[in-house]
């Protein structure tokens, strides 16, 4: 039976399977990662063509378990920093689990508060998500804005926000490295991140799709 978390055509599935096999062959040692973590790293390599993510990707010990559990629960929100993540996620795959993807960065009230307070839209978007009780239990995906990641970390530590998982992979130069380094010190909430300047929304989408596939496999195996 075709899984909703896989490619929808036989040709597409064959290409994806062949790509994953090539990645497994060419990636070298995967000793850093568990059997549950490697599918996420592999899909990130597949999305980027960059084998550096075999090594740069870091996981909180409970990251995959927490992410899969949040998905299987059904109805879990994905809170993204930018529209690109929402657009990249497969609508049928989200629908299978009753999930929705939200972003607030373009909301007029977010833009106005950012201008009034001299902050970024990304910061205000995460504050709005928290105020509207969208962060608790959510999977937070940040691939573009380091200030969004820094704000989510602050919300967790200072205001008790409790996402199920933070996938923090902002790409860039200003505060990107620092925000990810700070995320990797977070103990209160599980996280997935990448070291250094590399990152991006495509990687966040790849990681979420890998989690969706793991969640469906587990659901079917458990009946």
Q: Which of 202, 206, 164, 168 is nearest to 74 (CA)?
A: 164
For residues 171 and 62, give the distance between their C-alpha atoms in angstroms, rounded to a whole number.
24
Q: Which residue in 46, 60, 130, 209 is the catalytic one?
A: 46
For residues 191 and 38, give the distance between their C-alpha atoms in angstroms, rounded to a whole number.
15
For the chain, what's the residue count?
223
CA 136 to mean position of chain CA atoms: 15
DSSP state of 143: S
For residues 70 and 138, give the distance between their C-alpha atoms in angstroms, rounded to a whole number.
8
Determine whether 46 is an active site residue. yes
Largest Cα–Cα separation, the chain = 54
How many Cβ atoms are within 10 Å of 151's Cβ, its own excluded? 25
CA 46 to mean position of chain CA atoms: 15
For residues 52 and 200, give the distance between their C-alpha atoms in angstroms, rounded to a whole number.
14
Instruction: Enumerate the active-site residues.
Output: 46
């Amino acid at each position: 039976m075709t899984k909703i978390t896989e490619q929808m055509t036989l040709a597409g599935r064959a290409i994806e399977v062949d790509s994953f096999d090539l990645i497994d062959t060419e990636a070298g040692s995967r000793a850093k990662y568990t059997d549950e973590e490697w599918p996420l790293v592999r899909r990130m390599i597949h999305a980027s063509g960059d084998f550096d993510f075999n090594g740069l990707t870091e996981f909180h010990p409970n990251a995959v378990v927490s992410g899969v559990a949040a998905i299987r629960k059904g109805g879990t929100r994905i809170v993204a920093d930018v529209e690109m993540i929402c657009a990249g996620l497969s609508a049928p795959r989200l629908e299978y689990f009753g999930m929705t993807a939200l972003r607030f960065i373009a909301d007029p009230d977010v833009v106005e508060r950012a201008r009034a307070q001299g902050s970024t839209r990304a910061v205000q978007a995460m504050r709005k998500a928290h105020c509207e009780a969208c962060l608790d239990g959510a999977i937070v995906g940040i691939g573009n804005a380091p200030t969004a990641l820094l704000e989510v970390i602050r919300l967790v530590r200072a205001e008790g926000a409790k996402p199920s998982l933070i996938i923090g992979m902002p790409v860039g130069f200003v505060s990107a490295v620092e925000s990810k380094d700070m995320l990797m010190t977070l103990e209160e909430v599980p996280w997935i991140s990448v070291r250094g300047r590399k990152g991006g929304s495509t990687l966040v989408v790849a990681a979420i799709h890998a989690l969706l596939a793991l969640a469906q496999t587990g659901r079917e195996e458990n009946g």
